[in-house]
Amino acid sequence: MASFTLLLSQSSMIVFLFLLVSSMLVSASPKSLMLKRVFPNYGMELSGLREMDMKRHGRMLLNSSVVTLPVNGTSNPTLAGLYYTTMHLGSPPREFHVDIDTGSDIPWVNCVSCNGCPQTSELLIKLNYFDPGSSSTSSIISCLDDKCANIDSRNAFCPNIDYCSFNVQYVDGSMTSGYFISDLIHVANIVEGSVAPNSSVPLVFGCSNIRTGKLTWSNTALDGIFGFGKHEMSFISQLHSQGVAPNVFSHCLKRDISGGGLLVLGEPVEPNIVYTPLIPKQPRYDLNLESITVNGKMLQIDPEVFKTSSSKGATIDSGTTLTYFIEGAYNPIIDAITRTIPQYVGTTDNNGFRCYSVTNSGLSVTDILPPIGLNFANHASLVLRPQDCLIPSSIYDEGLHCLGFQKSQDTILGDIILKDKLFVYDLEKQRIGWTNHNCSSPINMSPSTGKARSEKDGILQLTMTVVLAFLTHIIFMLI
């Protein structure tokens, strides 16, 4: 009997240690989500895309916490693309297609009994509606809950003490409202190319039950929006606070017509990533743009143009299609390009866009447009190739290419220049990094090859390795 008890005790210890090692491996691994893309606005002209951006920027100025426009844009802006991924919420888990937006914070989805929520989507997906009563793990956030107090006061209010409610008004007159709930989100872990068991953690998100205006339209309807902004209510911040993911995420958006890309929760260690610090105490991802070069030559721009303040700085926004420069920077860029390109290149203004055409059939505009360098603090340069700047003027004239830049009151770096690049949003170290990358290829997340880790990161990784080796040794001894 004693030997049986000892054997049982050893077996229990082996199982316990095995589960401990497995959980440590899973929790230390990066999380990866596949992005999909559809084109709800095929054939949209450049002016239409500009109008979409302007409405988005108006919403950003009115309320920097929630923006509802989708992530638009491709290498051809006549195809207004929409990036989304799939999340699973509740118990039992239900699938929801959500827009990924770096310009907003609060995650929210459609809920049952919604007044004005689209019933169908032209994106060829089945819309789902979250039902708190059908999930065994769902709970409503009341106004007495500390979680309600942590939500930005511009979004949360309490007309009823039992519900922590939200109401968001937009410049174009559209509106969404509802109440906050907490339920499980099921996040798939990707461990060295193989899928590990799903991890489930609580997530506070909005349950939208009223929509008005353009939010009721079905042409770009999804199940909701998951904000990846800087506030503690954002999706990435909530996962980080529970130890599920590092406080850093990356995206890589494809430029080709197949669309899609990768969204990675974790710090990549791809070579040649350059980093620049975020401007402190700003709600958006704002950077210090210090100078601009065209064809390697520094432009003579008034330093006041680049002076950062509460209303200045260059904003990274994946939900904006085009790229916008304030007048003091836009005009010198256009003038420098005009001086650089050959005389046989035709130049025209098309509805506020500077456009170019080449009559020589052996060349394309992409062959002769000079590189443009955006130089940020900490000596971080973002070099824009012709394909990062030029877009066909329409689907009817493939020979005429227009510069995807516009004059604006703010500098906003939009989707057109973010593609075919790995962008890293490091909230832990308050910085943004980038490098050119084939977005059809995997992103290297192996800590053993990365140079971007701090000394502390290395110590933690070494400690983890020693602990795992020690536990594994004990298991073999017991066996």
| Paired sense of beta strands 289-294 and 297-298, if any | antiparallel
Residue 475: the pLDDT is 34
Q: Quote the pLDDT of residue 34.
A: 59
Q: What is the pLDDT of residues 126-170, one digit of tens each?
A: 999 999 999 999 999 999 998 888 776 566 788 889 999 987 665
- Please give the pLDDT value at position 80: 44
Cα dihedral 178, 183, 184, 187, rounded to 10, equals 20
Residue 183: Cβ-neighbour burial (10 angstroms; 0-12, 13-18, 19+): buried
Residues with Cβ within 8 Å of 51's Cβ and at least 6 positions away in sequence, in order, are: none
370: tokens are 């000079």
What is the structure's pLDDT at 300? 93
Q: Are 442 and 30 in contact (CB under 8 A)?
A: no
Chain centroid to Cα 415, Å, comes to 11
CA within 13 Å, CB half, 477 = 8
Tokens representing residue 319 in the block: 């939900």
Whole-number Å distance between alpha carbons of 112 and 54: 32
Provide the pairing of β-strand 248-253 with 261-265: antiparallel
CA distance 406 to 103: 19
Q: pLDDT (tens digit, 0 to 9) for every residue of the chain, 479 residues total?
A: 444 344 435 545 444 444 444 444 334 445 556 565 544 344 456 655 555 555 544 444 333 222 222 222 233 344 444 678 888 999 999 999 998 878 778 899 999 989 999 999 988 889 999 999 999 999 999 999 988 887 765 667 888 899 999 876 654 567 789 999 999 998 754 322 323 345 788 999 999 999 888 778 888 788 988 888 888 889 999 988 888 788 999 988 887 766 678 888 888 888 899 999 999 988 889 999 999 999 999 999 988 888 765 556 899 987 778 899 999 999 999 999 999 998 888 888 888 889 998 776 677 777 889 999 999 999 999 999 998 998 877 654 667 889 999 998 889 898 889 989 999 999 999 999 999 998 888 888 745 323 232 223 322 222 222 233 333 333 333 44
pLDDT of residue 253: 85
Q: Which amino acids are annotated catalytic?
A: 101, 317
- Note the pLDDT of residue 397: 62
User: What pTM value is reported for the model?
Assistant: 0.76
Question: Residues 382, 395: contact at Cβ < 8 Å?
Answer: no
Residue 90 near residue 48 (C-beta atoms within 8 A): no
Per-residue pLDDT, 433: 97
Reported in sequence order, the residue ranges of 102-238 that DSSP labels E, i.e. its strands, are 108-115, 139-140, 156-160, 163-169, 175-187, 190-191, 194-195, 199-212, 224-227
What's the helix, strand, coil split of the chain in %, to 5? 25, 35, 40
| The predicted structure's pLDDT at residue 91 | 94
Residue 120: its H or E element: none
